[in-house]
Structure 1
């Protein structure tokens, strides 16, 4: 909004001209004097000369000269005065001897005066409406500025016009996937950010950025954005896609060096020429994020301690229950050896001892199997599971992890994926474990390329398998690790227990499926598992 609009006076009083208050009194007097002189001159020429033209039409000049100095009522009175002078001049000059041409000329003059009056009245009404609209606009601008300046949240006005033109040019060149373009050109996102300029901020923004005054925040926004934050690329994608708004998390570097976490909200205008003033709102959630991170760390440590205690209790339970059959196996084996060591050997007694050894060995195996079943099979609640819904729910659960690792998830679903039958909680734990491993594997990957792809392929036949693949963009799986990846207690993570992948494979195999891992030909690791389709539900 220009400052001129703010200087427009309040609505004119009823009956006053739209511009009377703004015309200097001396100028108003000069205009009226000029109108008077013109009116007198026209009357004299029309009345006392032999000019045969429609001289009275020139009363229009009188009205035009004085239109800005009269109100609506005054303009009507002026028009009546001019018309009266034209009629008076007609009777003085022609009287009862007036011919048809004189009458026509008088009628033309009166029509011209009437038409000019109507047009001038309409012009006054238009000016009055324009003044009122500008005054209302000025009041609205003043209210907006008051709300903007006094808002307790950080508000920015930013110029996106240059970067929008740049993104539109890329679209015309055939670039449709902005994320892929950014991965192929690492400096692209930063170059775009340099083109976004801050034109105005409120006091809350200066306080958020630890700046002495709001003016210090004006200019390129690049200096306040950490280099590894994926949020700017997401904003650029929203601009390129023509979105009306954007919401998400972002990082902000304050003047004192502290990196803040903010909730970001942007409302994009509909018209291209309005991108010079885009309103951006930010809410500082750094403290809340820190509390959440502390809670997650405590939960992770408690979960690790719980797993360790569970493993210890399980080990003690298995050792207690298996001790007796193993002792019986050893005793029967020794007995068998003694019978065979006799001279001559008592083969029949040795066979009976060997049979008891087999029996006790099978009993030990059953104890192990039963304990495993208590952990995986007996405590589960199998149901038909829609993998699309489960994966989308899992991605939502990992929102904080994704934000912490500055990563994104891309999901790819086959057109028709039948449900599978499994325990929902156990299968979701498998997905969380595999996706979390993928996030950790991308810790050293460039922020713009941290993408986790989760794809689901439907079966080729009703009774075939449904496959789920989770691919990261990390370094892949080293050859020396590949063979031992699913071994219990084997881990490459510092402080890890090495049980996650082993439990994942055991869980998947419990439902009749399989789990494998490999290095993708384009880089990164791919964990893929398959489960039988639930044919009862599919049919």
Structure 2
């Protein structure tokens, strides 16, 4: 049991504390009340005074109320009432008149009313003491949390600034933030009037201060000139916002610029703006990390663009290498025919025509690549792959002659057209057929046969056209199968490794697929499938 509870149980007032009387004075109060009570009893009982002397017991209770607890006060009330009744019977006995009875009744009523008032007063005092105790404990807890939490906390006085902003609003200024930005002197004056009253250790550590007391005073010295956070805070105060959240720049004692997240809770009552709590979280390192990441992303994007340009350059070089080589060879042939004696003009004309044809094909390749780069519309059209293959084989006349190889075509009698860019598909065929010719470089001359097949849809629910190109080379090693279509991967000496990557990308652009495998009887098979153009097929 606590000391206060024990004292109350014993019938005396609690020990000394806020608003209480010291124990030494309790004894004097009780002694004085005892003497006064005895005097009132003697006068009321043994004198001829006819007044309501018993009413003076009220003074006894008033004197003793500070020295007794609730229980003790009730007991004192009963004692005083008992003495008043006892005095009445001792003084009057059975012959009491009406006036004596009335006087006794008045005295008892006064004692009762006084007791009720004293008990209510005592309860009010106890409630007030309890409230003050709870308030003191709450303040202690708040201070403990304020001091020990690892988040930087400030207590700032915004009362002067709030009054300034109220006057500014009365003058007709509505956009306080814009006004503060346009009038830097006004913003600085506000910063001087916002005073720091208390900070915790985390704030001192954040601002590189040796002690929290160094942070007290105007916050102007910690604010970075031109920081938009201050106008935003002033606007929040002027508009009566309940809170403010945002970023701010602070200047630490060592000159370092800090980036912090601010959270300010504004009170509802105007007279409470003298203690506004401001919370801060240091995000300087996170901001620096974000800046580093943004710089790295920009560098990565630049490297990606450089790689794209490099890949595009390699693609163009690879695509136009074959037609340019044919142009050179046809031009040399034309010169040989013209150098004969007599010159063979007809053969020279044919060689010149082939030169023009291959030159135009190179120009078409460059134009198509440029169109892809500038996001131009594709020149898609309905293409009969059988006819396109028949047109493409003569373009490889030089390659076929150099490799002493032949082309065998196996074309299905009925094949629906596909929709694609003619030049792009022709380049796919040339690349795949050229690769097949290169793969047969070590094959005997009699076996250098390139088979090109075209088949229609295998089933009604799979309307696609398949083209396969089979060589009689050594096939595709298993360890190279997975990397075959990777850009810049090649097994050829001096190769660029872009041909198959370009071919797959082109076929996939038109909704198709390109695969490669080793044939059961030897050699490699490259096969691509494209969706059939059903609209064109039905119209025809």
Scaled by the length of structure 1, the TM-score of the pair is 0.57
> Using a 3 Å threshold, how does the CA distance of structure 1 residues 362 and 118 change in structure 2: closer, same or farther?
same
* Aligned length in residues: 350
Alignment of 1:129-148 (within 5 A): 129-148=127-146
Q: Secondary structure at the match of 1:270?
A: coil
Q: Which is bigger in relative contact order (C-alpha 8 A, separation at least 6)? A: 1
Q: Tell me which residue corresponds to 1:405.
A: none
Cα distance in 1 between the residues matched to 2:4 and 2:306: 79
Q: Tell me the alpha carbon deviations over residues 336-358 of structure 1, each in whole angstroms, 9 at most, x when there is no partner.
A: xxxxxxxxxxxxxxxxxxxx999
Contact preservation (8 Å) 1:19, 1:68: no
> Using a 3 Å threshold, how does the CA distance of structure 1 residues 65 and 153 change in structure 2: closer, same or farther?
same
> Using a 3 Å threshold, how does the CA distance of structure 1 residues 65 and 20 change in structure 2: closer, same or farther?
farther
Contact preservation (8 Å) 2:323, 2:361: no
Contact preservation (8 Å) 1:266, 1:281: yes
Cα distance in 2 between the residues matched to 1:23 and 1:119: 19
Bigger Rg over Cα: 2
Q: Secondary structure at the match of 1:265?
A: strand
Q: Tell me which residue corresponds to 1:65.
A: 63
The reply to whether residue 371 of structure 1 matches residue 369 of structure 2 is no
Q: Tell me which residue corresponds to 1:285.
A: 283
> Using a 3 Å threshold, how does the CA distance of structure 1 residues 325 and 168 change in structure 2: closer, same or farther?
farther
Task: Identify which of 253, 256, 266 aligns with 1:255.
Answer: 253
Contact preservation (8 Å) 1:325, 1:363: no
Task: Identify which of 173, 176, 185 aligns with 2:183.
Answer: 185
RMSD: 3.8
Shift, 1:82, TM fit: 1.0
Q: Tell me the alpha carbon deviations over residues 164-206 of structure 1, each in whole angstroms, 9 at most, x when there is no partner.
A: 2222333333322112222332222222121111111111111
Task: Identify which of 82, 85, 88 aligns with 1:84.
Answer: 82
Cα distance in 1 between the residues matched to 2:299 and 2:119: 82
Alignment of 1:124-203 (within 5 A): 124-203=122-201
Q: Tell me the alpha carbon deviations over residues 391-448 of structure 1, each in whole angstroms, 9 at most, x when there is no partner.
A: xxxxxxxxxxxxxxxxxxxxxxxxxxxxxxxxxxxxxxxxxxxxxxxxxxxxxxxxxx
Cα distance in 1 between the residues matched to 2:251 and 2:209: 12
Q: Tell me the alpha carbon deviations over residues 53-106 of structure 1, each in whole angstroms, 9 at most, x when there is no partner.
A: 322112111100110101222111111111112112222332222222221111
Alignment of 1:337-376 (within 5 A): 368-373=370-375
Q: Tell me which residue corresponds to 1:38.
A: 36
Q: Secondary structure at the match of 2:196?
A: strand
Scaled by the length of structure 2, the TM-score of the pair is 0.57
Contact preservation (8 Å) 2:84, 2:107: yes
Q: Tell me the alpha carbon deviations over residues 198-247 of structure 1, each in whole angstroms, 9 at most, x when there is no partner.
A: 11111111111111111111111111111121112222222222222222
Q: Tell me which residue corresponds to 1:428.
A: none
Shift, 1:253, TM fit: 1.1
Cα distance in 2 between the residues matched to 1:71 and 1:114: 17
Shift, 1:20, TM fit: 4.1
Contact preservation (8 Å) 1:18, 1:128: no
> Using a 3 Å threshold, how does the CA distance of structure 1 residues 278 and 60 change in structure 2: closer, same or farther?
same
Q: Tell me which residue corresponds to 2:243.
A: 245
**Unaligned segments of structure 1, at least 5 residues:** 1-8, 327-355, 379-539
Task: Identify which of 79, 98, 101 aligns with 2:99.
Answer: 101
The reply to whether residue 211 of structure 1 matches residue 213 of structure 2 is no
**Unaligned segments of structure 2, at least 5 residues:** 325-356, 381-540
Cα distance in 2 between the residues matched to 1:281 and 1:60: 57
The reply to whether residue 222 of structure 1 matches residue 220 of structure 2 is yes
Task: Identify which of 108, 111, 115 aligns with 2:109.
Answer: 111
Q: Secondary structure at the match of 2:374?
A: helix
